[in-house]
C-alpha cells in the first residue's frame, strides 16, 4: 500500500515542488490548502487520484486533524510575509505550526518536516523572525525528531525575489532598493524540496540551514539580475529612514482602507529583516550534510526571467542577428 504525506501549503511556491517530488516517489499526496479549487494544478503531478487538494484552515484543530488522518508524514510549508487580518505571524507561523505538530504526534505520524527561515530567533526585533523561532520550538516540543529547514531567500520560477525586482526594472531609468549592502545566499526552490523529501522519507532529521553556493550583497544580486534581463538601470540604495517613512505611509493607507488595499511594498518588519545578513552560519548543518549540491542562481535565472527583457523571448534572436557577419 502506498504511503501518504499531507503537505500543508502544498500548492505554494515550495510546497508544490515537494508535492511533485513525493508523487514521483510513489506516495499519495494530500495537499492541504485554504482554497482547493485554486490548487487543482497539482493533480497532474501524479497518476489519477494520487495527488489531491483538500480544504484546511490551520487555525482550527478539527480542520487540521481531518486532513491528517492516515498520514505517514506531514510537511508544514505555511508561512506569510506580513500580517493580514486574522492571519498574523503568531497565528500562522507559531500557533499554526504548533497545532500541526501536536495533532501529528497525537495521530501517530512518523515523520514531520517544518519549513522555517534563516534568521529565526526569539531575540530578534522582527515579529516575523520571532514567530518562526517560536514555531520551531513548538514543533520540536511535540515532534522532537522533526526536520527543521531554514532556507535563505528562495528563488525559482514563481519567486518573490528576482521576479519582483525584475518587474520593477521595467519602470523608468531608476531602480530603488533598500539594504543594498545586506548579504543574501539565494537557494533554489527545488533544492529545498529535495532536502524536505529526505526528511519525509526518514533519511534525515534535525535543523538544517540552506543556502546556495554564492553569497553576494543585495546590490550584487540586483546587478546580476539586470544582466540577465538585458537592462541598464541606475540602482539607488535608499537610506533606511526613507524606508521607515514609506512603511509608515503604506501601513497607514492599509488601515485607512480597512485592508482593502494591502501593503505589499515594504513593511516596518521587513525593514528590520533587511538590516541583517541572510546567510548560513559557519557551524550549521546544510546541503553538504544531506549530500545535495545546490544550484547557483545564474544556472536558473535566465530560464524564467527572460520575459522581463526589453523584447522578451525575442531578445536572444536580436542578439544573434547583431553577431551575423554580413
Domains and CATH numbers, the chain: 4-156+185-213+278-295 (3.40.50.720)
pTM score, two decimals? Answer: 0.93
CA distance 147 to 112: 6
Q: Report the relative pairing of strands 216-217 and 183-184 from DSSP bridges.
A: antiparallel
Instruction: Give me the pLDDT at residue 71, please.
Output: 97
The reported pLDDT for the residue numbered 156 is 96
What was the pLDDT predicted at 320? 62
Determine how many CB atoms are found less than 10 A away from the CB of residue 63.
18
Q: How far apart are the first and last CA of the chain?
A: 65
Report the sign of the C-alpha dihedral through residues 314, 316, 318, 320, in that order: negative
Predicted confidence at residue 255, as pLDDT, reads 87
Kindly state the cell numbers that stand for 227.
544582466
What pLDDT is recorded for position 261?
83
Instruction: Name the grid cell of 85.
Output: 487580518
What distance in Å separates the CA atoms of residue 314 and residue 319, rounded to the nearest whole number?
Answer: 9
- Helices 189-200 and 15-24 sit at what angle, rounded to 10 degrees? 50
| Cell numbers given for 249 | 505611509
H or E segment to which residue 241 belongs: helix 240-256
Residue environment code for 202-220, b if the CB has 16+ CB neighbours within 10 A, otherwise e: eebbebbbbbbeebbbbee
pLDDT at 259: 80
49: left (phi over 0), alpha (psi -120 to 50) or beta: left
Residue spans of beta strands (DSSP E) within the chain: 4-8, 28-33, 51-55, 73-76, 111-115, 147-151, 154-155, 174-178, 183-184, 187-188, 206-210, 216-217, 234-238
Q: What is the pLDDT along the chain (326 residues), one digit of tens a residue?
A: 689 999 999 999 999 999 999 999 999 999 999 999 999 999 999 999 999 999 999 999 999 999 999 999 999 999 998 888 889 999 999 999 999 999 999 999 999 999 999 999 999 999 999 999 999 999 999 999 999 999 999 999 999 999 999 999 999 899 999 999 999 999 999 999 999 999 999 999 999 999 999 999 999 999 999 999 999 999 999 999 999 999 999 989 988 888 888 888 899 999 999 999 999 999 999 999 999 999 999 999 999 999 999 987 767 666 666 666 54
- Strand segments, DSSP code E, in 24-103 are 28-33, 51-55, 73-76
What is the three-class DSSP state of 24? helix
Residue 263: per-residue pLDDT: 86
pLDDT at 299 (0 to 100): 93
Q: How confident is the model at residue 323, as a pLDDT? A: 64
With residue 117 as reference, give the H or E element that holds it: none
pLDDT at res. 128: 96
**C-alpha of 2 from chain center:** 28
pLDDT value of residue 196? 98
Amino acid at each position: 500500500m502506498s504511503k501518504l504525506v499531507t503537505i500543508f501549503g502544498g500548492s505554494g511556491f515550495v510546497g508544490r515542488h515537494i508535492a511533485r517530488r513525493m508523487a514521483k516517489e510513489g506516495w499519495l499526496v494530500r495537499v492541504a490548502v485554504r482554497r482547493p479549487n485554486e490548487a487543482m494544478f497539482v493533480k497532474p503531478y501524479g497518476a489519477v487520484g494520487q495527488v489531491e487538494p483538500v480544504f484546511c484552515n490551520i487555525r482550527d484543530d478539527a480542520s487540521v486533524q481531518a486532513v491528517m488522518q492516515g498520514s505517514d508524514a506531514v510537511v508544514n510549508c505555511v508561512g506569510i510575509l506580513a500580517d493580514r487580518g486574522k492571519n498574523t505571524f503568531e497565528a500562522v507561523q507559531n500557533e499554526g505550526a504548533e497545532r500541526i505538530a501536536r495533532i501529528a504526534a497525537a495521530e501517530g505520524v512518523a515523520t514531520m518536516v517544518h519549513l522555517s527561515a534563516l534568521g529565526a530567533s526569539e531575540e530578534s526585533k522582527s515579529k516575523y523572525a520571532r514567530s518562526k523561532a517560536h514555531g520551531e520550538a513548538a514543533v520540536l516540543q511535540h515532534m522532537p525528531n522533526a526536520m527543521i529547514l531554514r532556507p535563505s531567500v528562495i528563488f525559482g520560477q514563481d519567486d518573490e525575489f528576482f521576479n519582483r525586482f525584475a518587474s520593477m526594472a521595467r519602470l523608468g531609468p531608476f531602480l530603488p532598493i533598500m539594504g543594498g549592502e545586506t548579504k543574501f545566499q539565494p537557494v533554489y526552490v527545488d533544492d529545498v524540496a529535495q532536502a524536505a523529501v529526505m526528511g519525509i522519507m526518514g533519511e534525515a532529521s534535525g535543523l538544517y540551514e540552506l543556502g546556495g553556493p554564492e553569497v553576494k550583497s543585495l546590490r550584487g544580486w540586483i546587478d546580476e539580475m539586470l544582466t540577465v534581463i538585458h537592462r541598464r538601470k541606475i540602482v539607488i540604495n535608499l537610506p533606511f529612514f526613507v524606508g521607515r517613512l514609506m512603511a509608515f505611509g503604506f501601513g497607514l493607507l492599509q488601515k485607512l482602507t480597512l485592508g482593502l488595499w494591502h501593503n505589499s511594498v515594504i513593511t516596518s518588519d521587513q525593514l528590520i529583516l533587511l538590516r541583517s545578513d541572510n546567510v548560513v552560519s559557519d557551524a550549521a548543518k546544510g546541503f553538504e550534510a544531506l549530500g545535495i549540491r545546490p544550484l547557483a542562481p545564474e544556472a536558473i535565472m535566465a530560464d524564467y526571467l527572460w520575459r522581463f527583457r526589453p523584447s522578451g523571448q525575442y531578445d536572444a534572436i536580436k542578439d544573434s542577428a547583431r553577431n551575423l557577419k554580413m
